[in-house]
Amino acid sequence: KKNEFKKNSLIEIKDYILDKNERTLKKNKKILKITEKEINFICILNTSKFPLSKKYILENIWLYSSGTETHTIETHIYRLRQKIKETFGDHNFIKNTKDGYSF
């Protein structure tokens, strides 16, 4: 059971390993600590076949009501991108188009 639990907590995303138990994103020997909200965002982004809109992210990850005007999404994604860029040198981990956010 312990191995199965650990296996379910490790997710491959691009060249990275997301460890949900340790709350880390790993690539090669570098490790980045991330928050629970960042983990949820990355997991949903990873399983989506289509870019996620700001509205979808607000309602389904941040649990804001529809119609809420806020820059929460942009701020959190900006900070996550900065952390990834500083740790791994990756400028394109999260992409943004007119359709939304994707890998």
What's the pLDDT tens digit per position in 23-74? 999 999 999 999 998 999 999 999 999 999 988 888 888 777 666 677 888 8
User: Rounded mean pLDDT of 70-90?
Assistant: 92
Instruction: Report the pLDDT value the prediction gives residue 24, as an integer from 0 to 100.
Output: 97
Q: Considering only CA atoms, which of 35, 37, 45 is closest in space to residue 13?
A: 45
In angstroms, rounded to a whole number, what is the distance separating the alpha carbons of residues 21 and 6? 8
Q: Which residue has the higher pLDDT, 68 or 82?
A: 82
CA distance 40 to 61: 7
Tell me how far apart the alpha carbons of residues 35 and 50 are, in angstroms, rounded to a whole number: 24
Determine the Cα–Cα distance for residues 51 and 100; give it in Å rounded to an integer: 5
Over residues 2-21, mean pLDDT: 81
- The pLDDT of 4-10, averaged and rounded, is 67
Across 79-101, average pLDDT = 95
Give the residue among 41, 57, 33, 36 at the shortest CA–CA distance from 103.
Answer: 41
